[in-house]
Amino acid sequence: MIASIYLGISQNLVLNGDFSQYDVNCNDFSFGFTGSANTNCVDDWNSYSGSPSLHGVSSNPHAWMWSGGTNDHYESIQTPVAFEQGKCYTVSFKVKTNDRGNQDISDHGTVNLRAVNFQNGSIDTEQTIFSNTIGTYLGNNWHTVTTTFTPNANYSRLLINPLYTGGVKQAEMAIDDIVIQESQNLSVDFHFEDTAGTHKNTFCEGETILLNGSASKGEIHYFIDAWRRPSGSLGSFQYVSGLGWTAGQLQTVNLTNLFAGNNVNFEAGYEYEIKVALGNDCIGWLPLTKRFTVLPNAALDPNFTMNASCAGNGTITIQATAATTNANQWWGLFETATSTTTGGTQVGPIQGGTSVTFSGLSRTKNYYIKHGVWKDSDKNCYPWQEARKIVPNSVSWVGYTTDFTLSLSANGGLVNVNLQADPNPVSVYHGWQVYDVNHNVISGFCCNSDIASFSGLSINTWYYIKHGIWNDCKEWQETRRYFRVQIQESENNIGGFVLETKEYPFEPDSAYTKEINELINSGAIFELFEEYEGSSFVEDDKEISKVEMYPNPVPAGRVLTITTSTTTDIQHIELVAFTGKSVSVSFKKEEDSILLDIDAKTPKGMYFVRIIKGSGEVITKQLAIQ
């Protein structure tokens, strides 16, 4: 619905209002306006009094007039304009004036535009269109003036002149670009919308209500007031509050905030009628009313359940199910730098539905799920409600195991211990290491194989196997088992060798678990194990078999002693952290031992001591620093 008043077409009723059409063959450009058709130079214009001039340049002239003297003389120009009684006209022009340095002229001389009728060469009836002091427009710069005019009768001519009656000094004015138009349409149109710009006539309690009046035209000020009645009532609307007149054009206004300034809130259970009126200098009051309803809020439960599982590829899958099923659903997954439910980067598309699945997640990253619900209704409001939950970063599975089996094969005095991980139903990484009973690492393999084989182990010597698994679902967990190969006769023997095993009671502390999982999360475990992959301990390397370290663990700041059969071939020793970072360690050779100073600032944790011989052979031992 639109309320409008049509006020005519927009065309200039003044012909040659910029004075550009004139007779270039006139004898005198300066005195271009006369009262005689034979001598007048300017098309559609002539003088009413005096001898007005064309000033400026021939390509861009303007009219110039003066007033003064003892007989109240003034120069004036006139042109035909058909003013109709009761119509509204917009009048605009450019003007500049000169008071000749006389303050009285500035204060009391005037610029005048009149609508007139002539009879027998004299003014019969007239109405002032515009009048203002000379001093308002002094200087060499043009001033643009715009005004409106509603005739009280029909007039046939436009008359322009300066006027000063204070003495011989003259008041001067120049005028150009005169435009008179019938005023354009005045129309009022508006709608209600929310903060997202959605057109609405029904709002929830507490929701911000906007009035968009940008479709209205022709106004210079607007008026808004509010009325209401109970929802469903057919009774009269009762006045609530008004905002009065506001200058300017009606655009988008926040009704909620504006009426709150009058201590008025739009309450649930009421139908509101908003009256908007527009006005301008021609039309004082053009109203339009429209209505909206405020509904009460009803609660929705945004809660949801999460079912976390480990997919076959070793990544986390989350199935989320909404508690409220008869509502609109919004689901988003976000990744954050820390474990939090704010901010972050959206992962994948926004989903809908009562149950959704997020897959391919990694326990090394932080995620949360944001779930929103809302509902549209014509009786109650179910505004957006949301819940957020952190995605678990450790998910196990049915059939989870870190166990393994051992078997052996033999060749002469050397034996191979073969390892086979018990199967898991999902993809996992494997870490295999063999240690002597002094916790020195003998060899290790990683990371994609569920089998491993260690060769060159000594007979009748106890070792233990450490087998750990991990993936994007679950962090590192491990099983350890002692074993040794004996020579004895037994119906279970294999080639004269028998494999003896026993349990390794191991409960990792938090520091150990944190360290190894940081190694995994950073990816350094892959680089670290590649360096030692395939290394073996050979029986015929007597020097290596006799290397021992003590104390192990060693306190930071103490001396570590390494005993070996010979120290003459040792060229370099490095301390290697689990992250793969290595530092050279100074050492002192004695007859059958090597002394290493462990820096007091060395962080606690598990390390490898790497002994490099002149032959290029590398001996690696595991060391704990306390």
State residue 580's pLDDT score. 56
pLDDT band at 167 (very low <50, low <70, confident <90, very high): confident
Identity of the residue numbered 114:
R
Residues near 344 by beta carbon (within 8 Å), at least 6 away in sequence: 334, 335, 336, 337, 368
CB 446 within 8 A of CB 437: no
State residue 579's pLDDT score. 56
What are the start-end ranges of the E strands in 35-166? 46-49, 53-57, 60-69, 73-74, 76-83, 89-98, 110-119, 122-133, 143-149, 155-163
CB 148 within 8 A of CB 128: no
CB 5 within 8 A of CB 283: yes
CB 490 within 8 A of CB 498: yes
Is the pTM for the entire model greater than 0.75?
no
The DSSP annotation for 201-253 comes to: SEEETT---EEE-TT-BS-SEEEEEEEEEETT--S--EEEEEEEEEES---EE
State residue 554's pLDDT score. 86
pLDDT band at 611 (very low <50, low <70, confident <90, very high): confident
The answer to whether residue 563 scores a pLDDT higher than 90 is no
The answer to whether residue 559 scores a pLDDT higher than 80 is yes
**Looking at per-residue confidence, does 96 or 563 come out higher?**
96
DSSP 458: P
Mean pLDDT score, 609-624: 75
Mind listing the pLDDT tens digit for each residue in 231-264? 999 999 999 999 999 998 899 999 999 999 999 9
The answer to whether residue 466 scores a pLDDT higher than 90 is yes
State residue 532's pLDDT score. 38
**Looking at per-residue confidence, does 212 or 299 come out higher?**
212
Mean pLDDT score, 6-22: 81
The answer to whether residue 120 scores a pLDDT higher than 80 is yes
Mind listing the pLDDT tens digit for each residue in 271-292? 999 999 998 877 888 999 999 9
Whether cis (ω within 30° of 0) applies to the bond prior to 447 is yes
The answer to whether residue 171 scores a pLDDT higher than 90 is yes
The answer to whether residue 487 scores a pLDDT higher than 80 is no
CA-based angle 323:327:331, to the nearest 5?
Answer: 70
Measure the CA–CA gap between 159 and 76, rounded to whole angstroms.
7
The answer to whether residue 8 scores a pLDDT higher than 70 is no
State residue 52's pLDDT score. 93
Mean pLDDT score, 418-428: 94
The CB-side HSE value for 90 (13 A sphere, CA atoms) comes to: 17
pLDDT > 90 in the chain, percent = 55
Q: Is the dihedral of CA 163, 164, 168, 169 positive or negative?
A: negative
Measure the CA–CA gap between 102 and 124, rounded to whole angstroms.
33
**Residue 292, both tokens:** 């909206």
CB 467 within 8 A of CB 445: no
State residue 40's pLDDT score. 86
Coil vs helix vs strand at 521: helix
State residue 29's pLDDT score. 63
Mind listing the pLDDT tens digit for each residue in 30-75? 668 888 877 888 999 999 999 899 998 888 999 999 998 767 789 9
414: part of which helix (H) or strand (E)?
A: strand 414-421
Mean pLDDT score, 98-105: 92
CB 607 within 8 A of CB 528: no
Measure the CA–CA gap between 279 and 94, rounded to whole angstroms.
26
The answer to whether residue 184 scores a pLDDT higher than 70 is no
Mean pLDDT score, 194-215: 94
pLDDT band at 27 (very low <50, low <70, confident <90, very high): low
DSSP 626: -
State residue 329's pLDDT score. 96
CB 129 within 8 A of CB 93: no
**Residue 362, both tokens:** 């990694």
Question: 108 burial class (0-12, 13-18, 19+ CB within 10 angstroms)?
Answer: middle
The answer to whether residue 539 scores a pLDDT higher than 80 is no
DSSP 159: E
The answer to whether residue 195 scores a pLDDT higher than 90 is yes
Quickly tell me which residue has 């196990």 as its tokens.
Answer: 396
Angstrom distances, CA of residue 143 to CA of 74, 177, 427, 557: 22, 11, 83, 89
Mind listing the pLDDT tens digit for each residue in 205-235? 999 999 999 999 878 899 999 999 999 999 9
Measure the CA–CA gap between 503 and 133, rounded to whole angstroms.
111
State residue 610's pLDDT score. 78
The answer to whether residue 537 scores a pLDDT higher than 50 is no
Q: What are phi and psi of 171, to 5 degrees?
A: -95, 135
State residue 553's pLDDT score. 80
State residue 425's pLDDT score. 95
State residue 527's pLDDT score. 65
CB atoms near residue 144 (< 10 Å): 9
State residue 238's pLDDT score. 97
Mean pLDDT score, 181-185: 76
Average pLDDT of the chain? 87
**Looking at per-residue confidence, does 121 or 613 come out higher?**
121
State residue 87's pLDDT score. 84
pLDDT band at 411 (very low <50, low <70, confident <90, very high): low
State residue 234's pLDDT score. 95
